[in-house]
């Protein structure tokens, strides 16, 4: 996957995480609260992981011999 594809994947994951976090914040005290928060946390972790991978890829490219 090239950097452009990685950035697109991160953008989509980040948008999903933000939407889920907003939904979790808007939820009233229900039995689904914990589940919604877990889902939001999972999406955030995925977005953060993709973000780290992008920076690692960029760093490898910058440090590769020319």
Reported as a single tens digit per residue, the pLDDT across 11-24 is: 999 999 999 988 88
- Is 32 in contact with 62 (CB distance < 8 Å)? no
Q: What is the C-alpha separation between 26 and 14, in angstroms, rounded? A: 18
What is the full per-residue pLDDT of the chain (66 aa) written as tens digits?
788 999 999 999 999 999 998 888 876 666 677 888 889 999 999 999 999 999 998 888 787 765
DSSP conformation class of 29: S
pTM passes above 0.85? no
For residue 10, give every residue at least 6 positions away whose Cβ sits within 8 Å of its Cβ, in sequence order, or none.
Answer: 47, 50, 51, 54
């Amino acid at each position: 996957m090239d950097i452009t594809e990685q950035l697109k994947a991160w953008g989509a994951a980040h948008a999903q995480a933000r939407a889920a976090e907003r939904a979790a914040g808007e939820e009233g005290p229900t039995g689904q609260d914990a589940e919604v928060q877990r889902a939001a946390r999972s999406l955030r972790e995925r977005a953060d992981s993709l973000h780290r991978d992008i920076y690692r890829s960029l760093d490898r490219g910058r440090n590769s011999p020319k």
